[in-house]
Structure 1
Amino acid sequence: MVALCLTVLTFLQERLTVFYPNIMYSNISDMKKEEVGEVGEQVDDVDGRLEASTVDESNVHDYDTIQEPYVGMIFESEGAAKTFYDDYARQVGFLTRVLSSHKSECDGLLFSRGLGCRGYHDGQTKVELQKQDKQQESCSAMIHLRRDKNGRWVIKKFARDHNHPLVIQLGESRRTLDEEKDKKIQELTAELRVKKRLSASYREQLLAVVKEVEDHNYNLSMKVQRTLDNLKKLDAEAKELLSGR
């Protein structure tokens, strides 16, 4: 009897292997949990990457925060004023130079300074720039600073307009970079959404396959049980016949 049952079970297992060669039926429940879990983790990773690809926007508009100079603007030092004007120049797209400096005859301290545009054009060499400075062919854009009685530096004059094309419109370039970055983020977001939908679809397909396998396994188990019951019944009938003799 035992040998017959083992033979039947071996036959059924071989048939199952033919239909589903890549599935171990003894671990169907574990496979269901592990595989579905892996798909779920992939979806979470997609969301995590999406969140990570969209969060760090704090330094995108650094140049946009630089204010335009204005008459009456106050700085704590001449160096701070020069740094500000240099940053403003990089934002607009020109180089600066010192136009004038005046020191007090009493204490020898600097009390006035002019900063202006160098009139730089793309492609000029250092020699050409030096020659331009000597010929005083500079641009009219400038600021004039003066030290007050408290030691602070105040803009007394500001000229915005340039008499030449600017080298690089960094503000416009920054906006272009921002647009390209936004476009790239949108493309990545769309791609990640597609991957997320595919992951969900794969999960549904996997669940369907697992369910089908489990149903098939259940039906086969029922058939095996019925076969065993029939074998037991036949064995009992055989014993009755033998005892009747």
Structure 2
Amino acid sequence: MFLVEELPSTSEEGDMNHIVESSNGKELANSEGSSDMEPHVGMEFESEEAAKLFYDAYATRLGFIMRVDAFRRSMRDGKVVWRRLVCNKEGFRKLRPRRSENRKPRAVTREGCKAMIVVKKEKTGKWLVTRFVKEHNHQLVAIPSNGRRSVLLSQTPDEKDAKIRELTAELHRERKRSAAYQEQLIMVLRDMEEHSNHLSRNVDDIVQSLREIESSR
């Protein structure tokens, strides 16, 4: 059973010496020397990170930027078991009203590109390519190997803004939650104070009764 999460995520660039294997388990090449290869359904990777590195190198060679997109987690242990890697021009930017007429409109960074690769974790622990879309609907611009950007730095300004909004919303939720906890704590302390005052009054009543009994004697 899977838990689907559609929020974009980032990943730091890791070791380049992962092994890339075919679907029958035969070793093809390590990811450091596999940039000339093209993804295909059935290709296997040793890890999710190896798949990311391979597709990022492939994207750099072809002339587009990879974006780490949607993923799914296992409902059993919460680990990622499915990942979609896309072109950074995938989808379309949501149109929002401009806050000021003086602000310049942002450049179009999303063009509805369908290029992607989908990898899924198998029971063996390997990551299998289950879908590959090669075609792009925009011009590709090859990037020199010495100018290759890492996966973490491949986000567009729109994606960074979206991440900031996501973190801001999370901070707002945490503040509301903290305020609710604080209110509950105040209520508990108020109840404890009232209970303490009630006990004090009862003790005073008992002491007074004992004094009256002692006086009558």
The interval holding the TM-score normalised by the smaller chain is 0.3 to 0.5
Kindly name which structure, 1 or 2, has the bigger radius of gyration based on alpha carbons: 1
Answer 1 or 2: which has greater helix percent. 1
TM-score by length of 1: 0.37
Answer 1 or 2: which has greater strand percent. 2
TM-score by length of 2: 0.41
